[in-house]
Amino acid sequence: MGCCRENMETYSDGQQVGSNNKVQPNATSTPCDAKAHTVAMIETGSLSPCGDEEFFAERGRNMFEELEQMLEEKRFSALKKEMSKMEPADIVIFFENLDRKDAVRAFRILPKELAAETFADMDHDMQEDLIESFSASELSEILDEMYLDDTVDVIEEMPASLVKRIISHLDPEDRKTVNRMLRYPEDSAGSIMTPEYVALKPFFTVEDALMRIRRTGVDKETIYTCYVTSESNILMGVVTVKDILLAEDDDLIGDIMDKDLISVETGEDQEKVAKMFDKYDFLALPVVDKENRLVGIVTVDDAMDVMQEENTEDFEKMAAMLPSDDSYFKTGVFKHARNRILWLIILMISGTFTGMIIEKYENAFHLFPLLVSFVPMLMDTGGNSGSQTSTLMIRGLAIDTIHPKDVLKVWFKEIRVALIVGITLALVNTARMYIIYFRSHPFDEITRYAVLLGLTIIFVVCFAKTLGCLLPLGAKAIKLDPALMASPLITTITDCATVLMYFTLAVKILNIQM
């Protein structure tokens, strides 16, 4: 997301080059991006990545206490001066520690541009509280300073009554653009793009281009990257301010623009767009319609938000929970329970089959009581083995290093890993058996148990790793989320198969009559 229109900082390098050697211009860095700000502090040496956290945390607490004291004592001029020196992300943290009434008071003290940046950084609950307290003029001022993609993000999370109020305070042109952006499918490139970019024509001279940038740049999310379009807005190329400044005044933009660029269509899935940023190290990506007309750009800060959302969703699915759009503390107890209970019921019912298998071999327990003591160890070994492989598969699929077409290659590698791991575990377990039971059981009996457990471990590990490999790849092949095939499901299936293999082998090796 962008921040206020007038506070812009550009990266010093001119262009970015992806692994395919295609050149993609940089976007504008925004000071309201807390993550980027922290990285910048680390790179410049003002904040070390480890060791200084406690110092800065304590310093932050002291600063917030001083600001709260200024607010309580109504020293608004001093408070405004101090907050003006702060980053928007830090101001948001300060507001989160205040009650609603004080947060509104403090927000009204902020300068107009900084207020818009801070508002864009807030969570949706805080934004809703502020909008409800804004006067018509205050709301109009904030909306005028915000980028349109930020406005769309706010609208998407607000209740209907506030949405109506927000849209009514947009000027007609912005209202038309916002309504168009809201019609794009959720989780698409069109839904996360911003329409505020600098557009040039190929017949512009360098002097014309600089005049256009000076005249319109204040309202754009990035002025460093300029997109060259035809009269019908067809995307033709891209040019950076560096290219323009280094060219002669009478050079044509069409002669210095880069025609070799990558773009995405408005309907492209936002996760795929985010992966392109990761793969090619882009900072901005043009978005076009089906006729290749430029309609907007996606910037790296929006891509980072998408990556965070998708990773959170995958983790929740891997833990057998329904994904939630809200943070942990913003989600109610009953919603937490509802998100978790469905999969737990499914897994509990699935676990019934394991109990049925154990019940079938109840006679074996009477003849060889020691058998039952090894069941937990075997089930844990199988579940852990499957979880290891499924985690690697899900992560590989997420970052595009593994694909469904690689299924045979992946399975062949995993089965070799499984044999090495299984044999090693079997040997370690054999040694354990002799050490623990050599005094209480005859040697030949220990040997039979060791052979039984060794073979079971090898078979179980091979089965679990095969399952952990094939299920995520199969899910991806049929357009399901591979994260659904994670540890809980694989562990439940493996537990059932482990018990079945164990007692089947026990009947054969120990000559148990059923």
Q: What is the pLDDT of residue 6?
A: 39
Record the tokens describing residue 21, joined without a space: 């050697």
Question: Does residue 74 lie within any of the structural domains?
Answer: yes
For residues 384 and 413, state if they share a domain. yes
Question: Does residue 328 lie within any of the structural domains?
Answer: no
pLDDT digits (tens, 9 = 90+) for 400-428: 889 999 999 999 999 999 999 999 999 99
Can you tell me the distance from the alpha carbon of 281 to that of 287, in angstroms, rounded to the nearest whole number? 17
pLDDT digits (tens, 9 = 90+) for 226-259: 999 999 899 999 998 999 999 999 999 999 999 9
For residue 145, the enclosing domain spans 34-183
Do 316 and 324 meet the contact criterion of CB atoms below 8 Å apart? Answer: yes
Please tell me which of 70-74, 154-158, 340-344 the model is most confident about, judged by mean pLDDT: 70-74
Which residue, 39, 35, 36, 10, is CA-closest to 25? 10
Verdict on whether the full-model pTM lies above 0.85? no
Do 494 and 383 meet the contact criterion of CB atoms below 8 Å apart? Answer: yes
359 pLDDT higher than 50: yes
Instruction: For residue 285, give the CATH number of its domain.
Output: 3.10.580.10
For residues 189 and 179, state if they share a domain. no
For residues 294 and 211, state if they share a domain. yes
User: Within 13 Å, how many C-alpha atoms sit on residue 495's CB side?
Assistant: 18
Instruction: For residue 119, give the CATH number of its domain.
Output: 1.25.60.10
Burial class (CB in 10 A: 0-12, 13-18, 19+), 439: exposed
Q: How confident is the model at residue 20 (pLDDT cuts 50, 70, 90)?
A: very low
Q: What is the mean pLDDT of residues 290-301?
A: 89
Do 16 and 26 meet the contact criterion of CB atoms below 8 Å apart? Answer: yes
Question: Does residue 178 lie within any of the structural domains?
Answer: yes
DSSP state letter for 227: E
Question: Does residue 310 lie within any of the structural domains?
Answer: no
Q: What is the pLDDT of residue 207?
A: 93
Q: State which H helix or E strand residue 235 sits in.
A: strand 235-240
Instruction: For residue 501, give the CATH number of its domain.
Output: 1.10.357.20
Question: Does residue 327 lie within any of the structural domains?
Answer: no
Question: Does residue 249 lie within any of the structural domains?
Answer: yes
pLDDT digits (tens, 9 = 90+) for 145-177: 888 888 888 888 888 878 888 888 888 888 888
Q: What is the mean pLDDT of residues 510-514?
A: 74
For residues 87 and 109, state if they share a domain. yes
Question: Does residue 149 lie within any of the structural domains?
Answer: yes
For residues 44 and 57, state if they share a domain. yes
Question: Does residue 268 lie within any of the structural domains?
Answer: yes
Query: How many whole angstroms from its chain centre is CA 367?
Result: 54
Number of structural domains (the chain) is: 3
For residues 126 and 95, state if they share a domain. yes
User: Of the candidates 121, 151, 183, which is a domain's last residue?
Assistant: 183
**Residue 131 contacts by C-beta under 8 Å, 6 or more apart in sequence?**
139, 158, 162, 165, 166
